[in-house]
Amino acid sequence: MSTIAGRVLDADGNPVPGASVAVSSGPGPVNDIAVVTDVEGRFRLGNLGPGRFALTANGANDLQGTAAVEVAADEQAVAEIRLGEVQPDPTGDVTVVADRVDWSKVRLVRVSLRDAATDPGEGPVRDLFFSPSNTASATWGSAVHGPYTYTVYYYLAGGLQRTVGPHDGDARTLVLDPMQGPPG
pLDDT tens, residue by residue, 40-85: 999 999 888 888 887 888 887 778 888 888 889 999 999 999 887 4
Output the pTM of the full model: 0.49
pLDDT score for 109: 87
State the Cα–Cα distance between residues 41 and 57, nearest whole angstrom: 11
Q: Would you say 164 and 151 are in contact if contact means Cβ atoms under 8 Å apart?
A: yes
Residues 6+ apart with CB under 8 A from 103: 132, 135
State the Cα–Cα distance between residues 148 and 153, nearest whole angstrom: 17
pLDDT score for 67: 83
CB atoms within 10 A of CB 63: 20
∠ at Cα 86 (85, 87), nearest 5°? 110
From 73-77, 125-129, 154-158, the region with the lowest mean pLDDT: 125-129
Q: For the chain, count helices (H), then strands (E).
A: 0, 15
Q: CA separation (Å) from 135 to 31, 63, 83, 102?
A: 23, 12, 16, 11
pLDDT score for 85: 41
- Sheet bearing 148-156, strands edge to edge: 126-130, 106-115, 148-156, 161-169
